[in-house]
Structure 1
Amino acid sequence: NRKGLSRSFQVTNIFHRLSVYENIRCAVLWSLGYRYSFWHRVGGLRDAQHRSLEVMERIGLARRRDTPAGELTYAEQRALEIGITIAGGAGVVLLDEPTAGMSRTETAQAVELVRQVTEGRTLVMVEHDMGVVFNLADRISVLVYGEIIATGAPEEIRANAAVQEAYLGTLHKEVAHA
């Protein structure tokens, strides 16, 4: 986060034995410049406590504060990881496949969470679920084999013949002899 960028990986990256609160607090403390040391007494840092509680509220896990992260559902673990990502206050958030492995209901909840927590921030996202992309993005760049084939607003991308060809195969041709 020291460059104003924080990220979340496709594979959930949390401390499974620590509680939800402790996971978030680690990210907050790191962003405040505290590093892992036996000499720091971090329990009394009111700012860190306040920010940690605030993040837990934003991601919807305040009621699970003392639950070990390893006992959360997969969707809750992804929400926790997003909370860790935003806890440092970075202006740019990079998410890699934030809805991978989720049910439709969980995906809808994750999309709403991402929308809410990235408001006022720049979101850079790698995602294969085009419904998620169209739901969250103001601007989309489509890559095929590492090359950008289209960039634009969701409506432009949805209507782009090159994108349709790349992701849907051969375009459905209207029958001219109707």
Structure 2
Amino acid sequence: MAARRAEAVLGAALGVPDRFPYAAKRAAREAPPPQRERAAQLAALHARAVALGGLPESLTLCPCAPVHHDAVFHLDRVRPAHGLIRLGPGRTVAGRVEAAAGPDVYLTDSAGRTLLLDSRHLAGWPLAAAPADAATTAEVAAPAREAAEPQVLFGSSAISAPTDA
């Protein structure tokens, strides 16, 4: 509970949203800034948190030490998705798992397409091994793209200083 409270206090004080829409997360994974740039943005945000003052005594500020998980989750393999897999009776989803982040599983199918599987939709569907050369027969819907510029996870808009208006 203390971690959630700390997250809420710092998020409100620094103007960082509590949640990011999946479309924004997916877009950020497709073309993230270099690790050095992301680390610098996190360091700037950390410096602002340290400078806040008046934080609850239950919060202990730790040194800034960003840890990148790109390699662990193979995020370097994420490419813009050809589409989002829609499961259906008697359909096959086949391919090589390239990366996983949250509920999203990125696959490369036998045709070389990058497909996105939202694993939250797997509940209740039977899973079985498919032959190595199996094709994906599940419907592939065009990926949802936000019409307006999405709020980026690691962009300057996420950590910009509040303006006095």
TM-score, with length taken from structure 2: 0.30
- Tell me which protein shows more helix as a share of its residues: 1
Higher relative contact order (CA 8 A, sep 6+): 2
TM-score, with length taken from structure 1: 0.28
